[in-house]
Amino acid sequence: MSALSFAELQQRLSADVDDVDGSPAPWDVLVVPSLNLDAQQIALVQGVHHYEERQLFELIRLRQPKARMVFVTSKLLPELVVDAVLELLPGVPISHARHRLKLFDTDDASPRPLAAKLLERPRLLQRIRQVLNLDRSYISCFNVGELERQLSETLQVPLLGTDPALAYWGSKAGSRELFSRCGLTHPAGSELVHSFSDLVEACAELVERESELQRAVVKLNEGFSGEGNAPLELAGLERSHAAGLRQQLSERLEQLPMPAAGWRELLVSQGALVEAWLSGGEELSSPSVQGMIHPGGHVEVLSTHEQLLGGPSGQTYLGCQFPARDHYRCELQRWGLAVGAELAKLGALDHFSVDGLARRFGEQWDLQAIEVNLRKGGTTHPMQALRYLSNGRLCQDSGRFLSPTGSELHYKATDNFTNPRLRGLLPMDLIDLVAGAGLHYDALGESGSVFHLLGCLSEHGKLGMTCIGRSAQEAEQVYARTKARLLGDH
pLDDT (tens digit per residue) in 222-268: 887 667 899 999 999 988 889 999 999 999 999 998 877 789 999 99
- The rounded distance, in Å, linking the Cα atoms of 289 and 310 is 19
* Strand, helix or coil for residue 466: strand
- Element at 196 (helix H, strand E): helix 196-209
pLDDT (tens digit, 9 = 90+) per residue, 8-23?
A: 999 999 988 887 776 7
The whole-model pTM stands at: 0.89
Residues in the chain: 490
Residue 43's pLDDT band (cuts 50, 70, 90): low
pLDDT (tens digit, 9 = 90+) per residue, 360-397?
A: 999 999 999 999 999 888 888 899 889 888 889 999 99
Distance (Å) of CA 29 to CA 249, 378, 389, 436, 473: 51, 21, 19, 35, 36
CB 180, CB 366: distance < 8 Å: no
CB 353, CB 377: distance < 8 Å: yes
List strand residue ranges (DSSP E) for 221-331, in order.
229-233, 272-276, 283-285, 287-293, 299-310, 316-322
pLDDT at 490: 47
pLDDT at 113 over 60: yes
